[in-house]
Amino acid sequence: MSETSIKIESVDVLLLDLPTIRPHQLSVATMRRQKLVLVRIRASDGIVGWGEATTIGGLAYGEESPESIRTNIDTYMTPVLVGTDATSPNARMFALRSHLQGNRFALCAIETALYDGQARRLGVPLSDLFGGRVRDSLPVAWTLASGDTARDIAEAEHMLDIRRHRVFKLKIGARDVRADVAHVAAIKRALGDRASVRVDVNQAWSETDAMLGMGMLQDAGVDLVEQPIAAHDIEGMRRLRTMNRIPLMADEALHGPLDAFRIAESRAADVYAIKITQSGGLRGAQQVAAIAESANIGLYGGTMLEGAVGTIASAQLFATFPELAWGTELFGPLLLTEEILRTPLQYRDFELQLPAGPGLGIELDEDRLAFLQRQQH
């Protein structure tokens, strides 16, 4: 069978509603379950590629929901893909973007599945299609999001003891600024120099709250503040960055290369939280990283609390970045109570180990997927 005769035969979307190991509290929602959105693309040569488009908190975080992603893929994207050449992910994505507006998460899942399939076809890791990896493991932060100070300290101590994480990010913004800072400062005092402590405000503060909070967090020894104010307020982010010494990280403000350019041009962030879904796919995230590198902006590998597919897809790309000064947050699978891989991802010595196999380097347990889907009905 010649390459040009290899056609896409089917595109399937699977929704898996899985419990988390504990409540995960953000300023916009409290998560007790995570709904994974998996995309499976089968080609006529028997190759199957996987992608993921998982979101946070339904529509609480962004404009795409698991249900809308499935509907839009089934209704508008699958007809454009089925019967076309499976060996050219770029051509397929160009065709989709010529027909569609928005839908970054859905497009990311499809692009990942196409690249996974093509890398498997070629017998190489997906990272090879993006220039090749410069590291075989990635440091991984853990989010402390129970909201209870003593519980968060105990959880962090446990993670240090088992050598799984030594960077901790706290989700704050749901309480008064001073109460939040007191919570963070207590955790930093308990952990001392054994760990890096950072915060994510998820846009919950006003600019005046952020000015107060960032100064207090710096005094408490916190290393980084993520998206303290509204994502659209680039000028406000610039003012905060100018008037504070603690690094400011852009997250929700980054919806791909255009936003990356605008924020860099405004000098409104010290660090970018790169997410493949927020960037509209792997290539978009690679472009965001290139803009950051050109503007001397640090990189942090972000997460949408994806399961194993989205996590390892992100890792395959992040492993190609020459500089990744702020590490990653690719802990999503560790937050879930159910395993969907035949061989789970390996976290040890504070890092996620990248698999060496072709494509994403993982094998999904399709019997387990079918069982978990049946449980939902």
Q: Which residues contact 78 (CB under 8 A, 6 or more apart)?
A: 11
Whether residue 171 lies in the annotated active site:
yes
Residue that the structure tokens 């690094």 belong to: 247
Grouping H, G, I as helix, E, B as strand and the rest as coil, residue 220 is coil
In a 13 Å sphere around the CA of 315, the CA atoms on its Cβ side amount to: 32
Half-sphere exposure of residue 294: CA atoms within 13 angstroms, side-chain side: 12
Q: Active site residue: 35, 171, 188, 275, which one?
A: 171
Neighbouring C-beta atoms of residue 70, cutoff 10 Å: 18
In this structure, the number of other CB atoms found within 10 A of the CB of residue 44 comes to 13
H or E segment and range at residue 105: helix 104-122
Q: Which long-range contacts (CB under 8 A, 24 or more apart) does 261-265 make?
A: 261/291, 262/234, 263/234, 263/237, 264/291, 264/292, 264/294, 264/295, 264/297
Strand partners for 49: 41
Comparing CA positions, the residue from 106, 114, 131 lying closest to residue 289 is 131
Q: How far apart are CA 92 and CA 86, in angstroms?
A: 8
C-alpha–C-alpha distance, residues 159 and 164, integer Å: 5
Residue reference for tokens 């790169």: 274
Residues that are catalytic: 171
